[in-house]
Amino acid sequence: MDTQMKRGLLDVCVLASIQYEDSYGYQIIKDMKPYMELSESTLYTILKRLETAKLLTVRTAEHDGRLRKYYQITDLGRKRIEEFKEDWKEMESIYQFITREEVGNE
């Protein structure tokens, strides 16, 4: 897949994994596992990028005597998911065009 496209897709996937509930690193990896294999390094980069773009916020909370970072989606992050859905519809119609069957000679 085109890297630019993949990057955008990964961003939205991570945002989707926290859209209903705040989550933490390992939980996000587990949630995505059925759909795609996501390495820790990749996840770190995505989270950092989303945080910089203010699509999510990070808070540190104590868990079981150690610190854990929780990620919370922002309104801007939700907007990104909506935009993705719109883009996807557009992509779908383009896909229809690309894969259409020959209708026959006129």
Partner 1 sequence: MNKEQFLNELKKGLSGIPKEDLDERVNFYSEMIDDRIEEGMSEEEAVSAIGDVKTIVSQIMAETPITTIVKERVNKEKEKKKGGISVATLIIIVLTFPLWLPIVATIFGLAIALFAVVWSLVVAFYAVTIGLIVAGAASIVWVLGMLFYGNLAGAGLGLGAGLFCLGLGVLMVYGCVAFTKGAILLTVKALVGIKKALVGKERE
Total chain residues near partner 1 (CB under 8 A): 15
- The three-class DSSP label of residue 53 is coil
Under rule CB under 8 A, residue 52 binds partner 1: no
For the bound state, the minimum distance from the C-beta of residue 51 to partner 1, rounded and expressed in Å, comes to: 11
Residue with tokens 């630019």: 4
List the interface residues with partner 1, window 56-85 (CB under 8 A).
64, 66-69
CA–CA gap between residue 99 and residue 103 (Å, rounded)? 12
Asked if residues 23 and 71 have their Cβ atoms less than 8 Å apart, the reply is yes
Which positions lie near partner 1, rule CB under 8 A? Answer: 24-27, 29, 39-41, 44-45, 64, 66-69
